[in-house]
Structure 1
Amino acid sequence: MFSNVCVLLLKCSETSVSYFCLFSGNVDIVNGNLKLILGLIWSLIVHYQIGRSKFPPKKLMLGWLKAALPDCRVNNFTTDWNSGIALSALLDYCEPGLFPHWKYLDPNDRVDNCRAAMELARSHFNIPMVLEPEYLASPHLDELSGMTYLSYFMREHSAGFRATLAWVNSQLKDHTVSNFTTDWNDGKALCSLVKSLGSSAKYQPSSDPTVWEANLERGMAAGRRLGVEPILRAKDMADTHVEHLGVMQYAASFQWVKPRSNPGLNVSVNYDAHTTRIYQPTNFKIDFHSSEVDSKDITAEIRGPEATKLECRLTLNQDGGTGTFTPVQIGMHRVSVMCEGEEVKGSPFYIRAMPQLSAITHTGLDPCAVGSIVEVLVNSNGAKAGLVEVEAMSPTGRTLPCPVNERDGVYSATFQPDEAGEWSISVLHAGQLIQGGPFTCFVFDPHGVQLRGLDKPAYPESIFNFTIDARATGGLGNIVIDIVHGKKSLPHTIEALGGALYKVSLHTYQPGKYRIYVYFNGNTVKGK
């Protein structure tokens, strides 16, 4: 049954032979106690050939064989190997094209099939025939005997080891691995492998084993989405002394996976505008382009100025949905939408939050900007049509026409102020001012802001100062600015100098273009 027992014993270390002597005694070898001899051989194989593991070697070996030979439906180490077909298929897996006709073998020619496959394994892969072909073909094949022979195909640097390693490297796009131990500790190989098959896991380079475990946890979660359950814990795989077979079996299990489209390509995000206002709910749209997308895998992250994180509410169904957040700071907001941890199409994008339109306290009509439409409403209290007139006088004494319209007893008149300052609105009935008139309306000019000193040279790692001159605005209102570099709002100081003049100071850390957004009473000031 075993043809190379003596060879195996001679290859064992002195320590292992001593262990055997304590276990069974020299007499058992002399008397040919087959059961104990097989037990010794199996112990040596587990220790030196398969390797230590927290999992039973049988489970790991069978798992690898199932992944390598999906068409053979291997479930044991005995009867499934009697016909020689599975062994022939294993040879073809180890070197594609070596035994391509294995599917056409006659299962009734079991001894000849086993002999041909075992001889080819010996000549091509140097795998010793530790079993007689007749015994491998026997329905009475002992399980440990079958495991002993097949272990030669999956020990380190064996033919099966090299074949699985080659498949893994064929999937990796940015690097290669040379083993199933240390090259897998930090999680990079696993994260790259699941990504190549259409799942996604974020990898963070680090020399810290705790970060390795986090990488592996994310990689294993992505593997579960592909239908592959891990057999090792992330902590086990991050161990620099991890045995190869557990990792090799896990990696080989991904050969069953049918690659799917990249999760980030199945989702897109778009938005209506690049600007919003603080304290205003801001929406963006999310679209699903595949039925494979699970709304539970969609996440969104909003980062405001100074990298502050904002809450984002997602409202999703099977086709997509919306995301909503409310900015509370003036400046650039980075919106990132992810599917299974991977950026989707259109992400990230940036939305600039502007200040609220100011509510200025002033007597008379509500203040407004130059060029805006001012509406005056007058309750007629039964007055006859044609007897109500409205006049608007500018700060320089010009009178603007205010056509009057009447509807259901309510008169309305509009005018468009073209000067900054205090306007006088007169409402007349039958040529007489109504009670309380004339009324005032303060008009400001947001475009009356000028920036002075921007033509001076600026240098990295220095303080740059410039001045805001708001005297031409009309004076009533507040100035807010937002300075953006690299799509990030930068900290700065603004100091009131009096007389609608302001000093702005900015620390210029890096070279490049700096954009300055100026708001007067919440209105964007156009550059001049």
Structure 2
Amino acid sequence: VTRNTGPSGHSVPAQVLQTADGVFKAEFVPRVVGEHRVSVTVEGQPTVGSPYSAKVYDVTAIKVKNVNNGTVGKPVVFLVETSQAGPGNLEVTVNGGRVPTSAQAQGQHTYAISFTPREAQNHTVELRFNGQDVPGSPFTCKVSPAARIVANDLMDKVSVGHVFEFLVESDISPVVEVLGPARRAVRADVVPAPAGYKVKFEPIEVGDHSVEVRLPGSGHVEGSPFLLKAYSAEKVVVTDIRPGVVGKSVSFGINASQAGAGNLEIIVAVGGKNVPNFVQSEGNARFKVNFKPTEAATHSLSVRFNGYPVPGSPFACHVTHAPVSLSKAIASGECLRQAPVKCENIFELEGFDGIDPQVLITSPSGDTVSCRVTCRDEVHFASFVPTSVGRHLISVTANDQHINGSPFSCNVFDVSRVAISGLDHHNTMASL
């Protein structure tokens, strides 16, 4: 005789069938989950072990909730509720057991199942209860790459007034917050892009800007937060540019204290050639630049900040020769006053103390007469051959300064064109 009792104490009908001599089979259909007690008696006596315990479960009563898609590197969590399923063992595997899982009780009959995907691919989630597949199992969880900021190597500085942009690789639109130096919010525009979302904003003041990028309902994306330094080349001031002298150090000042973080690029050039310069820090983003010119010409001073020219750049610095004393410099020779045409005329130059004199001879018509200057034993000799008669100007200078008496007036004559007539045999002298 078999008697079955359900969890609530109610009797469950059972049918006993003889299958062989001395062998009987008892069958019953449980209607509720839980522990059933099965009592077996033979001729009024209980069999050994009777009553027996039969644990009844219902795999179809298991509910799986919140199976959402996931992201690489972030836990995927879903809930399994077994309150109506009866006693048993829940088994969860992801990708055939290759991805570790964990279960945490959320109450008496609810479990939070979690796993952390490492690859951006569909993950297969299988659930079994007492060895049977849970309805709907296996589930598919789509795993996307982790959202991240795509940055270049120069993504640490931006010029005030210029748009700064970067890309966020994400399947959903990110939430972006940009805060200026005084924690004032800066508007940021987020627009769809082929590979995710493009973020644009324009800093309006110099200083550090904090950029935070999150996904809705989630934390920071990879690369967030980051710090962006806003600068302004317009706030760099160049001062104290004064005329220079060949061979002597020339200096000027640069004040970048209000310009923000960045690099100064300073180029001093003359005639297409760079002149070495030396930068000395004076503290608080103030600098003194020195260079020693070797040519008497206007020098170009180019100053850039993070690649942008500062206001007024390039600047001009006028360089001249050092003033020299020509008090001892003299020119001597008859041809400084008068000289025959088409003949070589030579005059001497002394007292120049190692400085080369320059000689310029101009004919009455304004043409330049060729002049050759040679030096022997610290005395210079200037020779020229005039080709026309009349008043010639002879300028003698050193470092653009005239010596005493310069320019000289030389009367060039042609003796062959003098004709004499009507003279008697008395000696006569005349001055022309």
TM-score range, shorter chain: 0.3 to 0.5
Q: 1 or 2, which has the higher strand percentage?
A: 2
Q: 1 or 2, which has the higher helix percentage?
A: 1
Specify the structure having the higher radius of gyration (Cα).
Answer: 2
Q: Which has the higher contact order (CA 8 A, sep 6+)?
A: 1
TM-score normalized by the length of structure 2? 0.36
